[in-house]
Amino acid sequence: MNISDSPLPGLRLIEPRRFGDHRGFFAEIWNRKAYEDQGIAIDWVQDNHSLSATPSTLRGLHFQAPPHAQAKLVRCGRGRLFDVVVDLRRGSPTYGQWGGFELSAENGHQLLIPAGFAHGFVTREPNTEIVYKCSDYYAPETEGAVAWEDPEIGIDWGLDGTDPILSDKDRAAPRLSGVDTPFTYEETAP
């Protein structure tokens, strides 16, 4: 596997090795020992799987606050999506900045998102599936969100004038300036 650091501290792009032939491919997408050898020692407690039937479905930007903050290991199981994170860690050198990555069934890339980031994605193909591991259980009382179109963050979702398909919750999310972020940057955080 190849692991690359991103400009946002703690956020890492992972490229699992694929072994392919005329039948398709095989890839090991999680191996506790292999990841621990790379300094990734997270106790995953929940796996989530989401299907978005229509291209330009946008979900996010979501987070869970402490004591149920979640790190995530995200990949695309089918189709193609643009995955986006925003650094919400007060004191971080990249606070309020975003990063975006194309994840697809074809490229097999994974994104390791530490706790303290808002996460969202927009689908590029019909019937796109996102699959991800979480380091804490779903706790609706700790849910938070940031507006996907916050001009101060300035995310380029690559929608090219297309209106995204949104939930009512995502449509009503506040701008980052209206969020009292519960996260603090720790330089040694994974």
User: Among all residues, which ones are annotated catalytic?
Assistant: 62, 132
Q: What are phi and psi of 134, to 5 degrees?
A: -125, 145
In terms of Cβ atoms closer than 10 Å to its own Cβ (0-12, 13-18, 19+), residue 132 is buried
Q: How far apart are CA 86 and CA 71, in angstroms?
A: 13
**183-184 and 89-90 beta bridge pairing:** parallel
Bridge partner list, 189? none
**Per-residue DSSP letter, 92:** -
Residue with tokens 């650091």: 5
